[in-house]
Amino acid sequence: MRLALLLASLIAAGAVHATDALQNANHLMQKYQGDVPGAALLVIKNGKPLLSKGFGLANLEQHAKVTPDTDFRLASVSKQFTAAAILLLAQDGKLTLDDSIRHWLPSLPATTDKVTLRELLSHTGGLIDYEDLIPPDQTAQLNDQDVLRMLSATPRSYFAPGTAYRYSNSGYVLLGLVVEKASGSTLQDFLQRRIFAPLHMDHTLLYVHDARRVPNRAYGYSRTGGRWLRTDQDLTSATRGDGGIYSNIDDLAKWDAALYDDRLLSDASRKAAFSPHVKVTGEPYQASYGYGWRVTGDTLWHSGESIGFRNVIVRWPKQHLTVILLSNRNDPEPYRTVLKIAQPFLQK
């Protein structure tokens, strides 16, 4: 969007003084500008993209710039899509949220009999983190079946299900496998058929090695010894339900729009996803957790962090405002930056 059109859009929306808002956003995005790993920034107000812009580079080696259609690895921002898949299957009558995880994945130990899908959605299942079960000599990337095998051989848990909160990538990997069992299709095909295609998120996919190529792909980097080194993948980058989706801010604008009505999820499903089911503990901010969403005051949000990527989506549903920042670098953490970018757009 050209600057003049952007300014006109902002002024027409009546939300902010346009020049000040743009200057504020550009100032806060300075670290992402230039010949460095970059970011894509989206501000949506009342369904209109007021700011959609790329900063820096998606690929340092090829000097490819970040644009609004650059695909980033979403990391844990993917969890809201896995949760939505479970809710869609519940709407279809293919499962219930009170099903035992062991009903769907019987190889899990008997100690998981009372762990429900509902508890996995809200990180209250108490399952052991699969990252802590990786053998020290592991060199090949883990897939979801590897995670299932490790958890099936681990009868211990952190706490009785439903009694506490502990963020769990293990739980969301298992939820992705449940989607496959209940739907009869692969997780990537289910997400494509039931979420991405209906919403015309045409450049979004759950990445699986040796399958579809990621379009306009951003590669992840970490700053080491004063230099940016490509750190795009690690041992846990091939699991799916906990963080395997690639998308861009143009497509995520369509996802955001669908969260205001029942074109995808019913009113009851959206209420369940956005309700504060448990207080978040052990993390450096105050929040509750829904199903794939953190809840803080008037905001629904989630961050995503993996080697070489830092992302966040923050929604103010009552004000119909959303800010999304996707970045292909290990620093800075974008959550507080997004809150500052949002300030001029919020009604006083």
* Catalytic sites, residue numbers: 76
C-alpha to C-alpha distances, 217 to 35, 57, 140, 252, 333, nearest whole angstrom: 17, 11, 22, 15, 21
The three-class DSSP label of residue 204 is coil
Partners of 227 in the β-ladder: 224
- Which of the 8 DSSP states describes residue 68? T
97 within 8 A of 86, measured Cβ to Cβ: yes
The beta strand positions in 183-334, using DSSP E, are 205-206, 221-224, 227-230, 245-247, 278-279, 288-289, 294-296, 299-306, 309-316, 321-327
- Which of the 8 DSSP states describes residue 95? -
Q: Exposure pattern of 249-278 as b/e (b: 16+ CB <10 Å)?
A: bbbbbbbbebbeeeebbeeebbebbbebbb
Q: Please tell me the distance from the alpha carbon of residue 37 to that of residue 55, in angstroms, as a whole number.
A: 8
- Upstream peptide bond of 276 is cis (omega within 30 degrees of 0): no
- Which of the 8 DSSP states describes residue 332? S
Closest CA to 326 of 76, 37, 53, 74: 74
The three-class DSSP label of residue 73 is strand
Token readout for 315 is 């929604």
314 within 8 A of 103, measured Cβ to Cβ: no
Closest CA to 338 of 348, 324, 318: 324
